[in-house]
């Protein structure tokens, strides 16, 4: 009921997760969750990061512009929590899949989408996410080692989603 793709670098799995969500939506799947869309802002600044909410048309900005020389975390916690609230509402509609763009630092700390992932699993909704290699130990602590590592390939991920939806019925 829990699948994850291991991300090998910053933003490398975002296009895959967007493709998977798009393919499932095209097949009429009711989805809950988010995919990340990065928008380049120029050579001297870091990209803007938005979460596209899958159960609607809303996009939520989750990055802050801290300045060209800033080294701190650019995540906007208020934006992230707003996206979490929208996904929680969509989860109440009993989607076929919860897709979370990544299990990141906020989730490692017990915040962000971590409670939403736990709720979905407890309610029998399959969950798909991505995890960067550095966060795998914390992810495994959270999941108790459960879950299926998936190759970063569109068809393999889609096949896993279909198999989970069939089992969940």
C-alpha distances out from residue 163 to 11, 95, 121, 126, Å: 26, 15, 16, 10
Which domain does 153 fall in, by range? 2-34+53-60+76-168
Which pLDDT score, from 0 to 100, does residue 115 have? 97
Residues of the chain with pLDDT under 50: 70, 72
Which pLDDT score, from 0 to 100, does residue 46 have? 60
For residue range 27-50, list pLDDT tens digits in order.
Answer: 999 999 999 887 565 556 566 788
CATH code: domain of residue 103: 3.40.50
2 burial (CB, 10 Å; 0-12 / 13-18 / 19+) is middle
Residue 22 lies in a domain: yes
Backbone CA torsion sign across 122, 128, 130, 136: positive
Which pLDDT score, from 0 to 100, does residue 37 have? 82
Which pLDDT score, from 0 to 100, does residue 14 have? 92
Measured between alpha carbons, how far is 67 from 70 in angstroms, rounded to an integer? 5
Residue 27 lies in a domain: yes
Which pLDDT score, from 0 to 100, does residue 57 have? 85
């Amino acid at each position: 009921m829990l699948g994850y793709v291991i991300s090998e670098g910053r933003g490398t799995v975002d296009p895959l997760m967007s493709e998977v969500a798009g393919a499932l939506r095209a097949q009429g799947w009711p989805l809950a969750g988010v995919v990340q869309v990065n928008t380049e802002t120029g050579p001297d600044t870091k990209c803007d990061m938005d979460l596209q909410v899958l159960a609607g048309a809303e996009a939520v900005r989750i990055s802050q512009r801290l300045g060209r020389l800033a080294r701190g975390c650019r995540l906007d916690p208020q934006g992230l929590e707003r996206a979490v609230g929208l996904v929680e509402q969509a989860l109440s509609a009993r989607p076929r899949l919860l897709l979370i763009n990544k299990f990141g630092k906020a989730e490692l700390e017990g915040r962000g989408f971590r409670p939403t992932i736990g709720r979905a699993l407890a309610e029998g909704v399959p969950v798909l996410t991505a995890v960067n290699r550095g966060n795998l130990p914390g992810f495994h602590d959270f999941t108790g080692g459960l879950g299926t590592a998936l190759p970063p390939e569109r068809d393999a991920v889609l096949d896993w989603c279909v198999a989970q939806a069939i089992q969940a019925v």
